[in-house]
């Protein structure tokens, strides 16, 4: 039986499939399904160092320590992340070299600790961009991150807005990228090789709203939660298409089938972990255009009982000053940081082994 993911790519070539993973085995599987890009995140850094691939990287870390004995653990992990970007982005170079700047991209996120420091994020964006010709830089959609997106775009870097949970964040990111591109045009620079993207985090939106409803004893139909991320992302997509932004929408953080099937047919990117790719590839979902179908009114009626959903779904509800204090942004940064700290402790054990053992 043909893979449903391959069938999707054949019927709707504008619907791009990417792999969300830093692992080479996941990259290899994704290539069999027709992926055209790869995303990574701070959580993948932790997983690589602490679980599946930890011992493989000890030698690299020790070599980096020899070159940079002045680095602390956080600086060492960042140096290691850049080294991994240089090595693992090569898997997509054959696709990149075909000449389409939208395909063959490998993305790395700026340090999770510096989400409120524009200058540091721009500097890290330049470092990631120097890892290879096909790099994409993920920048969180905080107030300072929005500014960093404009500056990085102006410098000719393809950015991906991430930690995005609302229409207002997505629009602010797209507008910042547009400003950066216009500044380039004004100086006679080309934007032809840029690939701006905005990632909407579906599963984390759902996790947040479930926790919010439970903490406040709000009862809504349980089926409605599965549609919250879908509804917000479809509204982002509608606005982007209507306004003609150069930035494309990307869906991320999967929890179930709707996070895939509801976007089939759109001019959109889906970055899907290998475990979900394997499930979707072998499922019985009909491959047709779901992107053009609106979320049912009864689902929205239930979701509108939740103030944070209304804020995320309704443009003009949040200002840039609100982005850093928006519930799902805080929870995601906390989660990323907690996971990343596991890698920090792992690196400390490698660089400063316990002498008592």
Confidence of residue 201 (pLDDT cuts 50, 70, 90): very high
The answer to whether residue 356 sits within a structural domain is no
Is residue 356 over pLDDT 90?
no
Buried-state track 77-96, b at ≥16 Cβ within 10 A, e below 16: bbbbbbbbbeebbebbeebb
The answer to whether residue 355 sits within a structural domain is no
Angle CA 281–44–109, to nearest 5: 105
- Residue 291 CB neighbours (<10 A): 19
The answer to whether residue 32 sits within a structural domain is yes
Confidence of residue 117 (pLDDT cuts 50, 70, 90): very high
What is the per-residue pLDDT across 280-314, written as a single tens digit (0 to 9) for each?
A: 999 999 999 999 999 999 999 999 999 999 999 99
Query: Domain with 65 in it: what CATH number?
Result: 3.20.20.70
Confidence of residue 53 (pLDDT cuts 50, 70, 90): low
> How many independent structural domains does the chain possess?
1
| Average pLDDT of the chain to the nearest whole number | 95
DSSP-assigned states of every residue in 81-120: HHHHHHHHGGGGHHHHTTS-TTSSEEEEEPPGGGTT-HHH
Closest-CA residue to 16 (of 1, 30, 3, 2) = 30
The answer to whether residue 162 sits within a structural domain is yes
Residues near 340 by beta carbon (within 8 Å), at least 6 away in sequence: 42, 43, 45, 46, 77, 112
| 3-class DSSP string for 110-178 | CCHHHCCCHHHHHHHHHHHHCCCCCEEEEEECCHHHHHHHHHHHHCCCCEEEEEECCHHHHHHHHHHHH
d(C-alpha 330, C-alpha 100), whole Å: 36
What is the per-residue pLDDT across 213-256, written as a single tens digit (0 to 9) for each?
A: 999 999 999 999 999 999 999 999 999 999 999 999 999 999 99
Place of tokens 């804020």: 311
pTM for the full model? Answer: 0.96
What was the pLDDT predicted at 52? 62
Q: Provide the domain limits for residue 255.
A: 2-349
d(C-alpha 302, C-alpha 305), whole Å: 6
d(C-alpha 323, C-alpha 312), whole Å: 11
Cβ–Cβ under 8 Å, residues 176 and 144: no
Closest-CA residue to 91 (of 21, 4, 3) = 21
Place of tokens 């239930």: 302
What was the pLDDT predicted at 354? 81
Eight-class DSSP state of 51: I
């Amino acid at each position: 039986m043909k893979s449903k993911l391959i069938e999707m790519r054949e019927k709707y070539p504008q619907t791009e499939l990417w792999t969300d993973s830093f692992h080479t085995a996941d990259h290899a599987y994704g290539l069999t399904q027709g992926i055209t890009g790869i995303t990574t995140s701070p959580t993948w850094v932790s997983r690589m160092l602490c679980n599946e691939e930890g011992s493989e990287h000890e030698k690299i870390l020790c070599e980096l320590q020899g070159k940079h004995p002045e680095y602390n653990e956080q600086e060492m992990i960042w140096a290691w992340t850049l080294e991994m970007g240089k090595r693992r982005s090569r898997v997509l170079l054959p696709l990149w070299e075909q000449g389409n700047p939208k395909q063959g991209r490998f993305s790395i996120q700026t340090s999770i600790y510096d989400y409120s420091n524009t200058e540091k994020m721009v500097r890290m964006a330049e470092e990631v961009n120097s890892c290879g010709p096909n790099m994409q830089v993920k920048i969180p959609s905080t107030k300072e991150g929005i500014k960093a997106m404009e500056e990085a775009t102006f410098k000719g870097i393809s950015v991906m807005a991430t930690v995005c949970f609302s229409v207002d964040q997505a629009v602010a990111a797209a507008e910042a990228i547009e400003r950066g591109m216009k500044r380039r045009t004004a100086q006679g620079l080309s934007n032809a090789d840029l690939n701006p993207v905005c990632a909407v985090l579906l599963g984390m939106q759902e996790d947040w709203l479930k926790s919010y409803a439970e903490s406040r004893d709000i009862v809504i139909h349980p089926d409605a939660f599965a549609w919250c991320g879908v509804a917000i992302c479809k509204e982002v997509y509608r606005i982007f298409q209507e306004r003609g932004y150069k930035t494309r929408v990307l869906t991320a953080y999967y929890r179930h089938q709707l996070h895939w099937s509801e976007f089939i047919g759109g001019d959109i990117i889906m970055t899907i972990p290998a475990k979900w790719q394997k499930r979707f590839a072998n499922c019985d979902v009909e491959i047709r255009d779901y992107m053009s179908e609106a979320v049912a009114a009864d689902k929205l009626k239930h979701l509108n009982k939740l103030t944070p959903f209304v804020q995320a779904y309704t443009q003009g509800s949040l200002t840039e000053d609100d982005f850093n204090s928006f519930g799902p942004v805080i929870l995601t940064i906390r989660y990323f940081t907690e996971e990343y700290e596991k890698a920090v402790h792992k690196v400390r054990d490698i660089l400063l082994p316990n002498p008592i053992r």
